[in-house]
Amino acid sequence: MERRKHKQNKKNHVIIVTSDAVDAKAKQIRIRPWLLQTIIIAGCVLAGAVLGYFINEGRIHAFVNRKADAQETVIGRLEEENASLAEQIDSERKQAEEEKQALLDQVRQMETQIENLNSNIAALSDTVNQKTQHEETLMAVLENQKIPSEYPLTGSASIDNSTNGEICVFNASLGATVIATAGGVVTAINDDSEYGHNVWVDHGNGYVTIYRNQGDVIVKLGDEVAHGTTIFVIGSKNTKFGYQIMKDDVYIDPMDMLSISG
């Protein structure tokens, strides 16, 4: 009973809502004390906040403006840094492109130089090959010129049978000349009991030719002779001429060499 009485002693606040209409009825809204206290507290807080805002509005605006200015400053600095960085990147890119183009130009020049060098090398190689072939041809010609395979006389002559295949005896006509059958060096000029004189020509390749005749010797010891060099001149008293060939210090039949020359 006491507990129920205690509850009945609590006060409730009543809000009556009505209107000007004739038939309007009044409405009663009961508000409990704690709810009213809450509303009053909330209103005080809101009023304090509004009052504080108006009181500190200048400071708030100044703070916000300072913040905005600081942000704008930072943004401006960042934009300047970005612009500077972009210019630097663009400059470095252009420089890299220029360096790349310069390298490409150098590579093209080097390729052109290499092509020219290759062409020159090919031309030089052809020249060297031609020169080598020419030298080989000349060497072959020179070697052939040192092989005593030519006829040892100018003019007509009859040939006696060779003695043991070692010497070929010619009966030459007047005015004919005894000539070297190949290039070489005169290594000996001797008196000859049968022919009067003998002349030895070393051809430098194992061949030595010997010319025997009573006429005057036209060459001298140590002379270099070529094919066709005159050794004797045939006169009325020296028409007999003896001709010999040695190969590696062994006599060979001169007719074998003459037959080789045709």
Tens-place pLDDT, residues 240-256: 999 999 999 999 999 88
Lowest mean pLDDT among 42-46, 61-65, 209-213: 61-65
Q: Which CATH class is domain 153-261?
A: mainly beta
Is the pLDDT at 1 greater than 50? The verdict is no
Is the pLDDT at 261 greater than 50? The verdict is no
Return the H-helix or E-strand segment holding 179.
strand 177-179
pLDDT at 195: 94
Choose between 145 and 112: higher pLDDT.
Answer: 112
pLDDT at 83: 87
Can you tell me the distance from the alpha carbon of 210 to that of 126, in angstroms, rounded to the nearest whole number? 44
Mind listing the pLDDT tens digit for each residue in 171-184?
999 999 999 999 99
Average pLDDT over residues 148-156: 90
- The residue among 229, 108, 193, 187 whose CA lies nearest residue 116 is 108
- Residue 10 identity (one-letter amino acid): K
Show me where the domains of the chain are located: 2-55, 153-261
